[in-house]
Amino acid sequence: MPAPPQDARSRVARVVRCTPCGADAFVLELDPGEELAPVRASRFFMLRREDGTSPLVPRPFSLYRQQRGNLEFLIKAMGRGTRALVSAPAGSKVRLIGPLGNGWPTIDGDGPDWVMLAGGVGSAPFWMGIEQAQQGMDGKTPVRKQQVHLLFGAASSDLLYDFKGLAGLGVSAHAATMDGSHGHRGHVLSLLAQLQASGKVPERVRLLACGPERMLEATAHLAFERGWDAWLSMETWMGCGVGICNGCPIPTRAGGPRAGWPNVKCCVEGPVFHVREVDLARRVGAPT
């Protein structure tokens, strides 16, 4: 049975600060008490306040940034769990379980260009994804500026969390909003089609996507249609994050590399899956 990663620990961290970001999110900065080795982008942590104000079960969040020994999370206020976290006062204690999950595949500079599709708070795992790809991952060729295209989509411009900061990392960055308040009007995949039609993005690409379920479904569909490689950073309800509750199944794809069992555990076998591994069509009741 898949175990939590070797470097995962359960520890108590201190809140350094919690700063608003966009209309409904916050950047929660935590001091983990001891320096963690660099964490691969799109790995995550389970977080829960220690003072009794959080629900029983901790909540999963991608690592947004790791700097000065501290960990930052981009958290969109949704329900009880996220609201408790974003209102945690400086100095208060938070249970920090991780780092968990697998993270992005090797984002290298050797094959087709990379297109990063970020939907709303799904932009969180891309900040470090860009930084690590530029530094070179797993000993592979670092990506150059023009090899990575970040397409950030949201309902409106105030939900493009720190788009400026992301764009400032030195990639070709484009925004799409449903209401047209910033950049392309429409979703990220219609933006991709437009960029490819105008020659700004090459015809053959590799996709990395994180965002709402419908965006991931459309991404998987497109990848199959064109024969592109695509990896999805998936979200499910998670009870534990470490593989012990069986609450995070994602159906596997018939005939795919994981077809030996009907489900994978998103927490310990993901959250990043190649589109050939999972079957989003059989996924009912996923968070939308």
Partner 1 sequence: MARLSVQLGPLVLRNPVMSGSGTYGHGREMALMCPPRHLGAWVSKTVTLEPRPGNPMPRMAETEAGLLNSIGLENRGLEYYLSEILPSMRDLDTLVVTNIGAECVEDFGTLAARLDGEAAVDALEVNLSCPNVGGGRLPFSTDARMAAAAIGRVRAATKKPLFAKLSPNVSDIASIACAVEAAGADGITAVNTLLGMKVDWRSRRPALATVQGGYSGTGIKPVALRQAWMCCKAVKIPVIGCGGIASADDALEFMVVGCRAVQVGTSNFSDPSAIGNLAQAIEHALDQACIADLEQWIGSFDNPRALAGA
Residues in touch with partner 1 (CB under 8 A): 1-4, 6, 8-10, 48, 55-58, 95, 97, 236-237, 239-240, 242-247, 249, 261-263, 283-286
**Residues 6 or more apart whose Cβ sits within 8 Å of residue 117:** 151, 153, 188, 189, 192, 207, 208, 209, 210, 211, 215, 219
Are 154 and 120 within 8 A, CB to CB? yes
Which amino acid is located at 209 in the chain?
A
C-alpha of 158 from chain center: 19
Q: Any contact of residue 272 with ligand FES (CB under 6 A)? A: no
Judged by beta carbon, residue 4 or residue 212, the one nearer ligand FES is: 4
Instruction: Build a one-symbol-per-residue string for 51-90: x at contacts with ligand FAD by CB under 6 A, - elsewhere.
Output: --------xxxx----------xxxx-xxxxx--------
Q: Any contact of residue 103 with ligand FAD (CB under 6 A)? A: no
Q: Any contact of residue 152 with ligand FAD (CB under 6 A)? A: no
Exposure letters 187-202 (e unless 16+ CB within 10 A, then b) = bbbebbeebbeeeebe
Q: Any contact of residue 238 with ligand FES (CB under 6 A)? A: yes
Are 62 and 42 within 8 A, CB to CB? yes
Q: Any contact of residue 264 with ligand FES (CB under 6 A)? A: no
Helix (H, G, I), strand (E, B) or coil at 152: strand
Judged by beta carbon, residue 15 or residue 159, the one nearer partner 1 is: 15
Q: Any contact of residue 251 with ligand FES (CB under 6 A)? A: no
The residue number with the shortest CB distance to ligand FAD is: 79
- Closest Cα to residue 27, out of 161, 211, 148, 226? 161
> Binds 61, which of ligand FAD, ligand FES, partner 1, none (CB < 5 to 8 A, cut-off by type)?
ligand FAD
Are 206 and 111 within 8 A, CB to CB? yes
Note the residues at the interface with ligand FAD (CB under 6 A): 44, 59-62, 73-76, 78-82, 121, 124, 235-238, 271, 287
